[in-house]
Structure 1
Amino acid sequence: MELQTVRKKCKSSHQHTRFENSLMAFPSRMKIKFGTWLSCVWDFFEDVVLKTLSIKVDKWTKLVQNEDYRKDFLEFLEKRDRVWIGVLLLPSGQLATVFEPPSTSKNKGVFFFKREEEPVPKEDIKNLVTFGDLSALPLDQFGAFVDDIMDDILVHQDMATSWPKVVSGDVQSSMNKLKSEVYEITGSMKGRTLLPMPAGMEQIENETNVREVMGVIEGIVIKWAHQIKTGFKIFLDLKSSQAMLDGLFPTPHEELRFWSDLTSNLQCIYDQLTSPKVREIAAILQSKQSSYYDSLTMMYDDVKLSLEEARDISIHLKPLRSLLDDIEQTDLSAVEKKLGALLHLVSLIWATSDYYRHPAKIVVLLGEIANFVIDLTKTFIDGESIFKGELDESYDLIKIALKTLRSFKEMYFEYSSKLPQYFSKTGKKTVLWDFRPELVFHRFDRFLKRIELIEEFFLSSISMMNLEKVEIGGSHGSVLSAKVVQIYEEFQVLHSKIADAEVDPLEHEDSKFERFYMLFKNKLYDLDRRLGAVLCEAFEDSASVESMFKLIAIASSLIDRKIIGEDFNPKYKKLVQQMEVEIQQARELFENQRDDPPLYKNQPPTAGKIRWAADLLQRVKTPRERFFLLDHPFVKNDEAQLVFKKFDEFEKFVINFKDATYKRWVAQVDEDCQFNLTKPLLSRDAETKLMSVNFNPKLEAVLREVRYLGYLGYENLPTSAENLYKKDQTFRTWVSSLRQTVHWYNKIRTTILEVEFPLVESQ
């Protein structure tokens, strides 16, 4: 029954259906409470929202189905002090209610406003509630409201005649002031200085009218001067140099944006000052010989000069924009050449722009470029996860960053020194960057120092993580290796504390990382001391130069660490001393065995002696060559040089021995070849009648010598020996065949019976 009654009070069947759908969204207790007047009230809200926002009814239905939004409407209808409610279209496309106008909004909205603080009446809601648009640009909306509505109302002819002249004039004056302020603020919000025109200019018809508006004109000139001055101050406050002074870190984009915006604003002011209305004002002031004419002229000249400067700077800076965008899209590992191109452009700007050739300006730009490089580094390296990744991969990123940062600073000094070349092409007097580099790099240097600190951390971590692969030999190897494992495990715990810390090491203004690193460094100092003691003990336990060098190779990255190096450095003296001992041992062995050296199995005499001497020399030559790879002062002092001199002497003795042995063999090899090759291949014993292969052992020795000398690297052997060796395979084949034949012959000769002998005697 209640629903039927409600339908009768509504204006259309369409309203009935919409209301019924909306009403069904309310709980039953709300339907009862509102009674029959709810339909018209709700249809009023619905009609306004749908028509104003041009949306479909389903969005409105979703709004009223939300309990919180329904409560907002109930509160607006029932409470006295709730006089305003708005409905906004959210970016998601849904509707929402608000009780205060939003400070910013990208979409249009609608508001409902009570004219008086009281509940909404049951009879006619329109008598109490009005509505309007909520623009996404409220200031523009208010400006249009002032210009198109309030102005027309307040200056309406009927109203003007009904008001006293004083009241009408005062209202009109206030209205003009409001319009001017709205006009100015609207321009400021858009980054433009908009100059309001004096009211009444369109009514100037005679001398009397001119006298009446002269005061207004002169007042507006004063206002313009103050407005332009204030506008300049605002722009200067937005200048990137001011941002640096305020503790911000602008990039060249801010510098380009500043000069572009300043140029646009000055162009806007210049266009206004050259407009017909302002020319008319200037003509009036000049005709009346007003002192404000000079002020207006000076204002025009200042704006013109400032515009010329800003336009020149903006044009010269413009090429930087595309290069900056390109650099931002380039990986840091490939950005060095483009940074050089960036400094090249800056040098060109300095040489060609007379307005920008000022230390204060170029210092700001170079400082911003330094900030830009810092930002590139922070983009390339994720500071929050740099310690959580693989050590080698993270360290590679740090190396790339350091290389780029150092290269950029080097390029700055390079291009600074080449400035005369840029000026020589312009024909202008050379002006150098004679300011202190610290003005440009004060923040950059702190950031570079932080990256170097991070590099130090990674170098320490990588070298200590190598302990996992360290295995010490020798008589005490197992004990020392266990100590190394313990140190390694302690370092893992220490490293994990840094890796798991919630700190961004790239934020160099924050000292939190430095505090963490100092704790890390102090603990690492203790680990280095213990590790240095272990390595020194392992070195003392090494029995030969070769084992000493193996230890140095395994622990090379650890020995380079300062604390460990301080403990280990004295051990290089023992390394040199042990080298001297082994050289002396090798020399004594050489002297004792040179006449009858022990030969390897199957080695011929000459090649065997040469091989023995070469191996004896190699025993000390290998560690001697490793000394060349050591970059340590102790291996270059007089004591070490004396030991190396002993090696050189021993090497000379061995080489002379090898040469002499070879020459003795060469001297007799021709005779051995020629004499023994002329003998018959077979020989018979006169008594036993047995046969033997007559291939002289000296020929076999020559063949073996040639083969093994070839293995030792000897070339250009005697011709007779080489010719003999070329037939080596032939000799082997025939000698083997002959020996088999002789074996069969001798077997028959020695085993045949006497009575059988006549049968084979002829064969």
Structure 2
Amino acid sequence: MMMMMMMMMLMMMMMMMMMTMMMIEWLIIKTCRSFLDPFEVFKGEIEETIHKIQKAISILKYFRSIYAQYAKHRVAKMFAAAHPQQNTTDTNNSDGEQAATAAWSFPDELVFYKFDAFLQRLHVVKGIIEMAIEFLKLEKMELSGVNGKMLSMSVGGVYEAFQQHFKIFTENNYDNLDPTNHLFDRDLQRFEEKMADLDRNLGSLVCQGFDDLDNVEDIFKMMDCFGNVMDRPAIQLDVQSRLPVTIKMFSAELDRVKLVYDAQMQTRASNPNGVPVQRNFPSVAGQVKWARELCARISRPYNMFCQPEQQDEWRTDMKKFMEQPRGQEMQAKYKEMMQLLQNTCQFWALGREIPPRAKEMFENVDMYLKYSQNLDLLVTCYNRIQLSSSPTLSALLRGEMEQIDSLLVRAETNLNWKSAGLNVVSFKKCGAT
């Protein structure tokens, strides 16, 4: 009888907590609605509105995390402390964590179903406004290329169509933040259908602009001008098929630079004093400047391929293509050309010919590059095993690691780049060990 009374009291306490939580949620939702004005959320300044929505979402998420921290853990411990006999019995179970929190076992959906629905609606509204911000940037879009003017006018048409659809969607008199408002869902579905058509049109224009350009720098500038619009699924699907072409285009540019370099070297070999340089430049300084300009010609586009601070989806896809064989080949070709031009600059600045040993070194640059890359990969794998292995795994690998250490000692003391029997070994499997 006593146990039944305790269970009833516990259930009553839990019900009271549920009611209290629901009242707190209602007050938070009411405050957010007053802060955002659900009837005017699409009609104010876009930048100010998106800032207010982000602030509201962060507050709602913070409340959810506080609930998880206190209600799920500290309140459960409080119940466990209030019933030590039950707690002792529960701790003998195989699932101690589940037994310890059994006192707070009702689903969160019973408490947070309105809260989560309101938070989801805020995310939907935030996504619509962010999309509007990106599409409004198309107003002053100017594309280069042979057909750049015509394509710019077409992009302007997409911008005007978006303005019209957005105006129709946002000019309503109902509550935009009410999750039970089916009129909002109906209008949103119609708006998304219109936006799907605009995405297809804009994706076609981006592909036409892509095909109209023959310079990697101009292509990257065009894609940066479109901004996050490029990350929309329909547009991204169209652009993704064009990304490998940029790698092929830049690889062809490297070949052209190599031909220019070889032609200059032949001219210099036949007539050292007759090498064409820029006007008003002395011979050596002019040749050095010429080599540096070739470096700039290939380094600027290459740096656009590798921009870690940019997190756009199409740049993520580009990085994946760069890891494929064609991308790896292009990177190796670029590094070889840059090293050649930099070395040429140094020797010309000193007024010296390239020594035979340096020429021999350069002829074997591919082999040395493979050695260097394999060595870097070996060091990375070795350090990963040493630093991230658990004590149990370290004990299991102790014999193998001692053998590796003994080989490394011999490599450090006896081996060099020209040692006999030094084969190019692939360590690709090391990353999976």
Shorter-chain TM-score category?
A: 0.5 to 0.7
Alignment pair present for 1:607 and 2:285: yes
Flag the 1:428–1:624 CA change in 2: closer, same or farther, 3 A. Answer: farther
What are the ranges of 5 or more consecutive residues in structure 1 without an aligned counterpart? 1-308, 310-353, 668-763
TM-aligned CA deviation for residue 408 of structure 1: 2.5
AA of the residue aligned to 2:227: S
CA distance in 1, matches of 2:349, 2:80: 73
TM-aligned CA deviation for residue 591 of structure 1: 2.0
Aligned equivalent of 1:555, options 207, 221, 226 = 226
Matches within 5 A, 1:440-519: 440-519=111-190
> TM-score, normalised on structure 1?
0.39
- Secondary structure, in 3 states, of the residue corresponding to 2:316? coil
- Secondary structure, in 3 states, of the residue corresponding to 2:42? coil
1:359-392 deviation digits (Å, cap 9, x = unpaired): 3232332233222322221121011111111222
CA distance in 1, matches of 2:75, 2:113: 26
- Secondary structure, in 3 states, of the residue corresponding to 1:555? helix
1:598·1:612 contact (CA, 8 Å) conserved in 2?
no
Flag the 1:507–1:587 CA change in 2: closer, same or farther, 3 A. Answer: same
TM-aligned CA deviation for residue 531 of structure 1: 1.0
CA distance in 2, matches of 1:416, 1:585: 67
Flag the 1:421–1:619 CA change in 2: closer, same or farther, 3 A. Answer: farther
1:586·1:617 contact (CA, 8 Å) conserved in 2?
no
Alignment pair present for 1:376 and 2:63: no
1:149-208 deviation digits (Å, cap 9, x = unpaired): xxxxxxxxxxxxxxxxxxxxxxxxxxxxxxxxxxxxxxxxxxxxxxxxxxxxxxxxxxxx
CA distance in 1, matches of 2:254, 2:171: 53
Matches within 5 A, 1:645-684: 645-664=332-351
CA distance in 2, matches of 1:599, 1:414: 71
Aligned Cα root-mean-square deviation (Å): 2.8
1:404: which partner in 2? 59
Flag the 1:591–1:468 CA change in 2: closer, same or farther, 3 A. Answer: same
2:316: which partner in 1? 631
2:298: which partner in 1? 620
Matches within 5 A, 1:411-450: 411-416=66-71, 418-419=73-74, 423=78, 429=84, 432=101, 433-450=104-121
TM-aligned CA deviation for residue 403 of structure 1: 2.2
- Secondary structure, in 3 states, of the residue corresponding to 1:412? helix
Alignment pair present for 1:359 and 2:14: yes
TM-aligned CA deviation for residue 620 of structure 1: 1.2
CA distance in 2, matches of 1:424, 1:517: 46
1:390: which partner in 2? 45
Matches within 5 A, 1:272-421: 358-416=13-71, 418-419=73-74
Flag the 1:506–1:663 CA change in 2: closer, same or farther, 3 A. Answer: same
CA distance in 1, matches of 2:14, 2:80: 21
CA distance in 2, matches of 1:470, 1:454: 26
CA distance in 1, matches of 2:295, 2:335: 10
2:330: which partner in 1? 643
1:367·1:439 contact (CA, 8 Å) conserved in 2?
no
CA distance in 1, matches of 2:210, 2:322: 17
1:428-465 deviation digits (Å, cap 9, x = unpaired): 65763322221221111111111111112112211211
1:498·1:516 contact (CA, 8 Å) conserved in 2?
yes
CA distance in 2, matches of 1:636, 1:356: 58
Flag the 1:396–1:598 CA change in 2: closer, same or farther, 3 A. Answer: farther
- Aligned residues with identical type, % of pairs: 26
Flag the 1:536–1:661 CA change in 2: closer, same or farther, 3 A. Answer: same
2:217·2:304 contact (CA, 8 Å) conserved in 1?
no
1:480·1:534 contact (CA, 8 Å) conserved in 2?
yes
Flag the 1:410–1:608 CA change in 2: closer, same or farther, 3 A. Answer: farther
AA of the residue aligned to 2:295: L
Matches within 5 A, 1:185-196: none
CA distance in 2, matches of 1:608, 1:434: 79
TM-aligned CA deviation for residue 422 of structure 1: 6.1
TM-aligned CA deviation for residue 499 of structure 1: 2.2
2:284·2:349 contact (CA, 8 Å) conserved in 1?
yes
CA distance in 1, matches of 2:229, 2:323: 22
Matches within 5 A, 1:230-269: none
CA distance in 2, matches of 1:421, 1:356: 14
Flag the 1:493–1:605 CA change in 2: closer, same or farther, 3 A. Answer: same
Aligned equivalent of 2:249, options 553, 557, 578 = 578
Flag the 1:587–1:523 CA change in 2: closer, same or farther, 3 A. Answer: same
CA distance in 1, matches of 2:352, 2:172: 76
TM-aligned CA deviation for residue 659 of structure 1: 2.4
1:573·1:634 contact (CA, 8 Å) conserved in 2?
yes
CA distance in 2, matches of 1:420, 1:442: 21
AA of the residue aligned to 1:477: G
2:347·2:353 contact (CA, 8 Å) conserved in 1?
no
2:138·2:155 contact (CA, 8 Å) conserved in 1?
yes
TM-aligned CA deviation for residue 566 of structure 1: 1.2
Flag the 1:359–1:420 CA change in 2: closer, same or farther, 3 A. Answer: closer
Question: RCO higher in 1 or 2 (8 Å CA, sep ≥ 6)?
Answer: 2
What are the ranges of 5 or more consecutive residues in structure 2 without an aligned counterpart? 1-5, 88-99, 308-314, 355-433
Q: Which has the higher helix share?
A: 2
1:387·1:498 contact (CA, 8 Å) conserved in 2?
no
AA of the residue aligned to 1:554: C
